[in-house]
């Protein structure tokens, strides 16, 4: 609209005037026709794109889509012929029925895994809960890091996570900080999981395209599958032990309270927590799974101050400087 219609303010500064409304009308009609012939142009016999997984899943519902209603109504209003979407759908289905192999990958070669860790200039620490869920759980989550594991697990930081996909990205973000320490346990997960055969549960674990070339994110992606399967007692002993071993590493980065109260009046020593089978067994099996966060909650304040060194009943920063948020195993059914 800005490029073709060339809008400008009216002399009274109270409205917008289009300097070339006719040219804008022509461009809008062409855009409508283009979008309604995007997949198949029966006149020029163009088919694009070849690979679009959403086509088979969503295209048959085109009559209910907002863009279809808007553009067909607009073209009819302008007395312009509306492209036949039914022919597009039939044409694509016929094309798929005859062409089984859409792409070949013989020209691709593996040069080596890309690093999922940006350089120090682009990697950003998340030090406040404002907008933290978006940074730690959306498509570019690997560019950010929570101040520490406990800050990332804080309820204020997680409260805006709205889907399983975001939750899974958030978990991968948390684990990236420990990747060097757990790499040896998750390096061959694809092969190990594959030995157990396909599972319907893996269909829910969406892997973004940008992760495909980054081995760290691939390994962590498959590990999050193990987390949930372990929580449901649906893994072999060998794969279960991987989850147990990694959680045994993560437990050392968390403070715990068992008071079932909304404060940190009394903290449990990590050594004591590890020795208490009731708590440690549950932690090893459930940590970072949905069950864990349905039972336990991490509390703290919104701002993260890495220079905070005071010791008090709320921050408990005495043992590890810069730990401002405490992920506490308390508040059952909070």
**pLDDT tens, residue by residue, 53-74:** 667 777 777 888 888 888 899 9
Q: Which of 145, 108, 149 has its CA nearest to residue 300?
A: 149
Task: Give the model's pLDDT for residue 128.
Answer: 80
Q: What is the DSSP letter of 115?
A: P
Asked, for residue 201, whether it belongs to a domain, the answer is: yes
Name the least confident of 201-205, 260-264, 284-288, 291-295: 260-264
Asked, for residue 191, whether it belongs to a domain, the answer is: yes
Residues 193, 251, single domain; the answer is: yes
* pLDDT band per the 50, 70, 90 thresholds, residue 280: very high
Bigger pLDDT: 63 vs 248: 248
Bigger pLDDT: 306 vs 330: 306
Residues 86, 35, single domain; the answer is: yes
Asked, for residue 110, whether it belongs to a domain, the answer is: no
Q: Who's near 23: CB < 8 A, 6+ residues apart? A: 4, 5
* Residue pair 220/172 in contact by the 8 Å Cβ criterion: yes
Show the 3-state SS of 36-54. CCCCEECCCCEECCCCCHH
Asked, for residue 109, whether it belongs to a domain, the answer is: no
Which of 88-92, 141-145, 321-325 is modeled with the greatest confidence?
Answer: 141-145
Residues 53, 145, single domain; the answer is: no
Which of 4-8, 27-31, 268-272, 305-309 is modeled with the greatest confidence?
Answer: 27-31
Residues 208, 252, single domain; the answer is: yes
Q: Who's near 88: CB < 8 A, 6+ residues apart? A: 37, 39, 40, 42
Residues 93, 142, single domain; the answer is: no
Residues 165, 249, single domain; the answer is: yes
Q: Which of 20, 36, 19 has its CA nearest to residue 80?
A: 36
For strands 40-41 and 16-18, give the pairing: unpaired
Residues 65, 137, single domain; the answer is: no
Asked, for residue 14, whether it belongs to a domain, the answer is: yes
Residue-averaged pLDDT of the chain? 77
Task: Give the model's pLDDT for residue 181.
Answer: 92
Residues 146, 225, single domain; the answer is: yes
Task: Give the model's pLDDT for residue 147.
Answer: 81
**What's this model's pTM, rounded to 2 decimal places?**
0.57
Q: Which of 217, 107, 238, 100 has its CA nearest to residue 169?
A: 217
Task: Give the model's pLDDT for residue 104.
Answer: 67
Task: Give the model's pLDDT for residue 255.
Answer: 79
Bigger pLDDT: 219 vs 1: 219
Q: Is the pLDDT of residue 99 over 90?
A: no
Residues 47, 190, single domain; the answer is: no
Q: Who's near 207: CB < 8 A, 6+ residues apart? A: 218, 221
Structural domain tally of the chain? 2
Asked, for residue 113, whether it belongs to a domain, the answer is: no
Which of 47-61, 102-116, 194-208 is modeled with the greatest confidence?
Answer: 47-61
pLDDT above 90 coverage of the chain, percent: 17
Residues 168, 20, single domain; the answer is: no
Residues 117-153 have pLDDT tens digits of 555 457 788 888 888 888 888 878 888 888 888 888 8
* Residue pair 113/213 in contact by the 8 Å Cβ criterion: yes
Residues 244, 128, single domain; the answer is: yes
Bigger pLDDT: 221 vs 303: 221
CA-to-CA distance for 133 and 177, rounded, in angstroms? 17
Residues 6-60 have pLDDT tens digits of 888 888 888 888 888 889 899 999 988 888 888 777 677 777 766 666 677 777 7
Residues 285-304 have pLDDT tens digits of 999 999 898 888 777 655 55
Residues 85, 137, single domain; the answer is: no
Asked, for residue 332, whether it belongs to a domain, the answer is: no
Range of the domain at 14: 2-98
Asked, for residue 150, whether it belongs to a domain, the answer is: yes
DSSP string spanning 96-108? HHH-------TT-
Name the least confident of 3-17, 114-128, 176-190, 211-225: 114-128
Distance of CA 109 to the CA centre of its chain: 28
* pLDDT band per the 50, 70, 90 thresholds, residue 312: very low
Q: Is the pLDDT of residue 259 over 80?
A: no
Name the least confident of 173-177, 259-263, 267-271: 259-263
Task: Give the model's pLDDT for residue 107.
Answer: 59
Task: Give the model's pLDDT for residue 189.
Answer: 81
44 burial class (0-12, 13-18, 19+ CB within 10 angstroms)?
exposed
Q: What tokens were used for 123?
A: 């990697």
Task: Give the model's pLDDT for residue 315.
Answer: 34
């Amino acid at each position: 609209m800005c490029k073709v219609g060339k809008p400008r303010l009216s002399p009274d500064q109270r409205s917008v005037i289009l300097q070339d409304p006719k040219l804008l009308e022509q461009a809008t009609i062409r855009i409508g026709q283009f979008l309604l012939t995007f997949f198949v142009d029966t006149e020029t016999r163009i088919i694009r794109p070849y690979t679009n997984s959403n086509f088979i899943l969503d295209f048959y519902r085109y009559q209910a889509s907002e863009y279809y209603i808007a553009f067909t109504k607009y073209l009819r209003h302008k007395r312009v012929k509306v492209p036949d979407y039914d022919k597009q759908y039939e044409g694509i289905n016929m094309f798929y029925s005859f062409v089984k192999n859409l792409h070949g990958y013989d020209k691709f070669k593996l040069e080596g895994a890309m690093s999922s860790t940006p350089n120090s200039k682009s990697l950003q620490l998340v030090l406040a809960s404002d907008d933290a869920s978006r940074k730690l759980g959306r498509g570019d989550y690997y560019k950010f890091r929570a101040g520490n594991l406990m800050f990332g697990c804080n309820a204020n930081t997680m409260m805006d996570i709205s889907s399983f996909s975001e939750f899974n990205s958030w978990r991968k973000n948390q684990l990236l900080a420990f990747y060097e320490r757990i790499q040896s346990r998750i390096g061959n997960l694809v092969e190990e999981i594959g030995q157990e055969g396909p599972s319907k549960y893996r269909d829910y674990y969406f892997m973004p395209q940008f992760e495909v070339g980054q081995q760290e994110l691939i390994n962590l992606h498959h590990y999050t599958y193990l987390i949930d399967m372990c929580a449901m007692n649906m893994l072999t002993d060998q794969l279960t032990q991987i989850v147990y071993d990694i959680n045994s590493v993560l437990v050392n980065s968390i403070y715990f309270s068992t008071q079932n109260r909304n404060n940190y009046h009394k903290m449990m020593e990590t050594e004591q927590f590890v020795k208490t089978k009731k708590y440690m067994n549950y932690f090893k099996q459930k940590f970072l799974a949905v069950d864990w966060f349905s039972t336990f909650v991490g509390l703290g304040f919104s701002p993260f101050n890495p220079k905070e060194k005071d010791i008090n009943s709320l921050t408990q920063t005495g043992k590890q400087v810069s730990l401002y948020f405490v992920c506490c195993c308390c508040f059952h059914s909070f």
